[in-house]
């Protein structure tokens, strides 16, 4: 019997763990080891991608074959290529928020670094121990061996039905200063001086703001109209911020009737190219983000308040390793509407690029409309991160604000988390006392009624309906609420949304990045504590080979002590939690056993069996929770550990109060019954019992009539 219950407890705990892993892996999937370049600087192109240096007069023509079959001869068209690839940088000064590294190959952005400084140190650093600017994104190497893929490449231009590639073309740099870079290339016909189209691409970094303008201008240099459209790529290669889980995602926003509506896409959503929107669908912007930062790309309207030149926008995953060693990177691609450009005329497109944190205050400093959910609403990208089950966005915002308010006083986020625990547990203390005392009264009443319930079951052994009727009647007469056990779940049900809201805050609030509790152990509350880091990740033998859960024990990077301490505190809290109801059951069971006749059998589990079962579940939860929280932020483990320590002290106090109440009642002796009015629960159960009894009587009458009809038919089959 004990062995069967042990296996049932193990199966129940394993089921909880597997459900948790399934849900969490879907929200934050664990990727394979990435193969992106580790250097924060721009990746140099391959030798094959760099043309030999030539003079301007000897500049080659990059030709293109048509993408569709056309009747008649095809003109030899191509864009002029620069003699060599140039690299230049914008910003990076003391007053600049960004440093943008550009390359003339594709007139693209190699990388963007967050360069904001305070007191000679970068506000957002790569590592807490260094003073290097945070690399928001960088080039991504091609697994097939091609040149590294950079951001904001104008992939190709369409002339009617003919596509001309621009992605690997070296453009001319015609202007460069500390905050502006201008690239250009010209479409050349087969004859000398036969220039058809000039494309000018301008990057303009705005000082003291974390944003940049990208402008594309197309000038028709020919004597005939040209129908053109562009394919413009967004950013790629955003840094994976979380050390264990990949929280990068692609976010699309469109303007709803009254506010900005966003949708986040994971890699699974974008395995096949997915349409994200168009001008007709009120497409507003797209973003590539990680835990704390994002790159937002917004097409700017040429006239009026709305954009009318975006034909459609697609999201996809590119550069995936065929061997599945690298799952690839997100990419957004915008297609402009075909437009006819008259001779001597031009058409221009403008895009706004914001690169920085998703924090509401930082967005509001850059532009109040960024933090306004009814206007541009970049802040809604953070809302997409905070959408999680069992909590509410407003609660996450409240927890973040409360935590930061406490931190301004104590000047330490770890201490602020502990203070937050004290505040929450103090507010919940009356509920906890009420819950535990209610459980005591309910369990004591159940133990007192157990002989009567057993007698009802023995009186109606084969009539479950009658047993239920008599049980409800007994509950009504005794004033016992059998649903009172649900009260024991109230503290957990109330605290769970708070816990998830705090976990979400720790994963999305940039102020907690590199915020430590102490300088030696918990140095980053937004990451696991990593007391002992391994030189190489290890796999725990046997456990790492198990199906389903084995991945938890594979490639373990460090020993995280906080989850282990949290599990120990859970076990201690359960051990010292008051269990007066169980003691009352044991005493009542002893009295009932002394009064029972030898032939009577006990129904259900004994109090001792229930105590052992609860103890087994306590052991299982004390093991499962540390596994679930092992790779969680240390701030969350610190919160849960502090909650358990506070709960142990609280349980000891409540346990002492219940013991004193019990001793006082024993000294007072039996009290005469009070003639108090029946409560609503008692009246409800009496009413339910009466209704059930009436229904049973009607059913019995109908059954008797049906029985008489069948007997009459048997006696006289011809009589109707």
DSSP string across 450-498: HHHHHHHHHHSTT-HHHHHHHHHHHHHHHT--GGGGGGGGHHHHHHHHH
Cβ neighbors of 679 (< 8 A, separation 6 or more) are 479
Confidence of residue 459 (pLDDT cuts 50, 70, 90): confident
Res. 79: pLDDT tops 70: yes
Check if the beta carbon of residue 350 is closer than 8 Å to that of residue 214: yes
Res. 389: pLDDT tops 90: no
Confidence of residue 4 (pLDDT cuts 50, 70, 90): low
pLDDT at 172: 94
d(Cα 570, Cα 482) in Å, to the nearest integer?
Answer: 27
pLDDT at 109: 96
Q: Which residue has the higher pLDDT, 280 or 3?
A: 280
Nearest by Cα to 306 from 284, 338, 334: 284
Confidence of residue 83 (pLDDT cuts 50, 70, 90): confident
Check if the beta carbon of residue 358 is closer than 8 Å to that of residue 351: no
Res. 24: pLDDT tops 60: no
Check if the beta carbon of residue 51 is closer than 8 Å to that of residue 84: yes
Q: What is the pLDDT of residues 158-178, one digit of tens each?
A: 998 899 999 889 999 999 999
Res. 583: pLDDT tops 80: no
Res. 353: pLDDT tops 70: yes
Q: Specify the range with the lowest mean pLDDT, choosing from 24-28, 239-243, 267-271.
A: 24-28
**544 within domain boundaries:** no
**494 within domain boundaries:** no
Residue 533's region, left for phi above 0, alpha for psi from -120 to 50, else beta, is beta
DSSP 92: -
pLDDT at 370: 93
**269 within domain boundaries:** yes
d(Cα 478, Cα 27) in Å, to the nearest integer?
Answer: 48
**143 within domain boundaries:** yes
Which whole-number Å values give the CA distances from 384 to 247, 261, 496, 505, in the listed order? 12, 10, 20, 13
Q: Buried b vs exposed e over 434-448: b needs ≥16 C-beta within 10 Å?
A: ebbbbbbebbbbbbb
pLDDT at 182: 97
Res. 580: pLDDT tops 60: no
Q: For the CA atoms of 691, 697, 702, 707, what is the dihedral angle to 10 degrees?
A: 150
d(Cα 550, Cα 130) in Å, to the nearest integer?
Answer: 36
**Extended beta strands in 234-328, E state:** 249-255, 260-265, 274-277, 283-289, 293-300, 310-318
**CATH number of residue 257's parent domain:** 2.70.98.90
Q: Specify the range with the lowest mean pLDDT, choosing from 136-150, 317-331, 453-467, 588-602.
A: 588-602
pLDDT at 433: 79
Q: What is the mean pLDDT of residues 341-345?
A: 94
What's the gap between Cα 404 and its chain centre? 21
Q: What is the mean pLDDT of residues 348-365?
A: 92
pLDDT at 529: 87
Nearest by Cα to 449 from 582, 590, 589: 589
Residues paired with 216 in a beta bridge: 201, 349
Task: Give 97-103's long-range contacts (Cβ < 8 A, gap of 24+).
Answer: 97/208, 97/209, 97/210, 97/356, 98/205, 98/210, 98/211, 98/212, 98/355, 98/356, 99/133, 100/203, 100/205, 100/212, 101/41, 101/42, 102/181, 102/203, 103/42, 103/45, 103/150
Q: Specify the range with the lowest mean pLDDT, choosing from 66-80, 321-335, 583-597.
A: 583-597
Q: What is the mean pLDDT of residues 324-342?
A: 86
What is the domain count for the chain? 1
Residue with tokens 């030898």: 598
Q: What is the mean pLDDT of residues 591-599?
A: 49
**153 within domain boundaries:** yes
**What does pTM read for this prediction?**
0.73
pLDDT at 220: 94
Measured between its terminal Cα atoms, the distance across the chain in Å is 59
Domain that holds residue 147: 47-387
Confidence of residue 501 (pLDDT cuts 50, 70, 90): confident
pLDDT at 298: 95
Q: Which residue has the higher pLDDT, 544 or 272?
A: 272
Q: What is the mean pLDDT of residues 140-151?
A: 85
Q: What is the mean pLDDT of residues 181-209?
A: 90
Q: Specify the range with the lowest mean pLDDT, choosing from 35-49, 308-322, 632-646, 662-676.
A: 35-49
pLDDT at 33: 35
pLDDT at 351: 96
> Angle of helix 413-459 relative to helix 580-595, nearest 10 degrees?
20
**What average pLDDT is seen over the chain?**
77
Q: What is the pLDDT of residues 259-280, one digit of tens each?
A: 888 888 887 788 788 899 998 8
**207 within domain boundaries:** yes
Share of the chain above pLDDT 90, in %: 27
CB atoms within 10 A of CB 44: 16
**100 within domain boundaries:** yes
Q: Specify the range with the lowest mean pLDDT, choosing from 221-225, 633-637, 693-697.
A: 693-697
Most confident of 6-15, 326-335, 348-357, 613-622: 348-357
pLDDT at 581: 47
Q: What is the pLDDT of residues 215-233, one digit of tens each?
A: 999 999 999 999 999 999 9
Segment (H or E) for 201:
strand 195-205
Q: How many C-alpha atoms does 655 have within 13 Å on its Cβ side? A: 14
Q: Specify the range with the lowest mean pLDDT, choosing from 381-390, 563-572, 596-605.
A: 596-605
Cβ neighbors of 40 (< 8 A, separation 6 or more) are 111, 113, 126, 132, 135, 138
Most confident of 322-326, 500-504, 530-534: 530-534
Confidence of residue 204 (pLDDT cuts 50, 70, 90): very high
**539 within domain boundaries:** no
Confidence of residue 329 (pLDDT cuts 50, 70, 90): confident
pLDDT at 511: 84
Res. 5: pLDDT tops 70: no
pLDDT at 579: 58
Q: What is the pLDDT of residues 42-77, one digit of tens each?
A: 333 333 333 333 333 334 444 333 333 333 344 678
Q: Which residue has the higher pLDDT, 110 or 677?
A: 110
Residues paired with 164 in a beta bridge: 157
Check if the beta carbon of residue 449 is closer than 8 Å to that of residue 480: yes
Confidence of residue 648 (pLDDT cuts 50, 70, 90): confident
Res. 80: pLDDT tops 80: yes
Confidence of residue 344 (pLDDT cuts 50, 70, 90): very high
């Amino acid at each position: 019997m004990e062995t069967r219950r042990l296996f049932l407890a193990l199966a129940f705990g394993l089921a909880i763990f597997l459900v948790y892993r399934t849900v969490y892996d879907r929200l934050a999937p664990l990727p394979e080891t990435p193969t992106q370049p580790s250097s924060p600087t721009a990746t140099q192109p391959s030798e094959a991608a760099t043309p030999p240096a030539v003079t301007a007069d000897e500049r080659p023509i990059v030709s293109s074959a048509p993408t569709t079959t056309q009747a008649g001869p095809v003109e030899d068209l191509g864009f002029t290529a620069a003699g060599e690839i140039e690299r230049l940088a914008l910003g990076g000064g003391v007053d600049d928020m960004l440093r943008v590294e550009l390359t003339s190959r594709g007139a693209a952005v190699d990388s963007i670094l967050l360069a904001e400084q305070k007191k000679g140190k970068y506000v957002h650093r790569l590592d807490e121990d260094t003073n290097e600017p945070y690399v928001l994104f960088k080039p991504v190497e091609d697994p097939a061996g091609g040149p590294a893929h950079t951001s904001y490449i104008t992939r190709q231009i369409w002339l009617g039905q003919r596509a001309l590639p621009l992605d690997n073309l070296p453009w001319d740099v015609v202007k460069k200063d500390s905050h502006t870079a201008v690239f250009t290339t010209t479409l050349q016909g087969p004859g000398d001086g036969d220039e058809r189209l000039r494309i000018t691409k301008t990057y303009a970094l705005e000082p003291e703001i974390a944003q940049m303008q990208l402008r594309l201008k197309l000038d028709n240099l020919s004597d005939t109209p040209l129908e053109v459209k562009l394919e413009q790529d967004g950013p790629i290669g955003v840094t994976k911020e979380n050390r264990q889980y990949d929280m990068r995602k692609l976010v699309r926003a469109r303007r709803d009737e009254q506010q900005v509506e966003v949708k986040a896409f994971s890699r699974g959503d974008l395995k096949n190219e997915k349409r994200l929107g168009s001008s007709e669908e009120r497409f507003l912007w797209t973003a590539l983000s990680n835990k704390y930062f994002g790159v937002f790309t917004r097409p700017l309207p040429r006239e009026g308040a709305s954009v009318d030149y975006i034909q459609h926008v697609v999201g996809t995953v590119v550069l995936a390793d065929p061997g599945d060693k690298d799952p690839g990177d997100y990419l957004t691609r915008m297609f402009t509407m075909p437009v006819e450009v008259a001779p001597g005329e031009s058409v221009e497109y403008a895009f706004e690029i914001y690169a920085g944190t998703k924090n509401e205050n930082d967005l509001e400093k850059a532009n109040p409309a960024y933090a306004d959910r009814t206007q541009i609403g970049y802040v809604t990208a953070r809302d997409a991160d905070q959408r999680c089950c069992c909590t509410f966005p407003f609660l996450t915002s409240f927890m973040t604000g409360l935590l930061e308010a406490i931190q301004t006083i104590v000047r330490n986020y770890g201490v602020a988390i502990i203070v937050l625990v004290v505040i929450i547990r103090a507010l919940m203390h009356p509920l906890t006392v009420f819950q535990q005392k209610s459980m005591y009264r309910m369990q004591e009443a159940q133990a007192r009624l157990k002989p009567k319930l057993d007698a009802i079951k023995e009186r109606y052994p084969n009539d479950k309906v009658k047993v239920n009727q008599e049980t409800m009647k007994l509950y009504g007469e005794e004033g016992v609420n059998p649903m009172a056990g649900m009260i024991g779940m109230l503290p957990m049900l109330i605290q769970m949304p708070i816990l998830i809201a705090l976990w979400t805050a720790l994963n999305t609030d940039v102020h907690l990045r590199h915020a430590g509790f102490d300088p030696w152990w918990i140095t980053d509350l937004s990451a696991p504590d990593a007391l002992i880091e391994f030189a190489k990740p290890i796999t725990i033998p046997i456990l790492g080979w198990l199906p389903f859960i084995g991945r938890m024990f594979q490639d373990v990077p460090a020993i995280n002590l906080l989850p282990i301490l949290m599990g120990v505190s859970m076990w201690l809290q359960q051990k010292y939690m008051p269990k007066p109801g169980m003691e009352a059951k044991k005493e009542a069971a002893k009295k009932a056993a002394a009064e029972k006749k030898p032939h009577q059998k006990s129904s259900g589990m004994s109090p001792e069996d229930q105590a052992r079962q609860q103890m087994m579940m306590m052991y299982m939860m004390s093991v499962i929770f540390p596994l679930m929280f092992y790779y969680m932020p240390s701030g969350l483990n610190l919160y849960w550990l502090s909650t358990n320590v506070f709960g142990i002290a609280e349980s000891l106090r409540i346990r002492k109060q219940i013991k004193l109440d019990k001793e006082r009642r024993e000294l007072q002796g039996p009290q005469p019954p009070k003639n108090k009015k029946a409560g609503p629960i008692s009246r409800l159960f009496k009413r339910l019992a009466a209704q059930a009894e009436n229904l049973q009587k009607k059913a019995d009458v109908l059954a008797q009539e049906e029985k008489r009809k069948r007997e009459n038919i048997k006696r006289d089959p011809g009589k109707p």
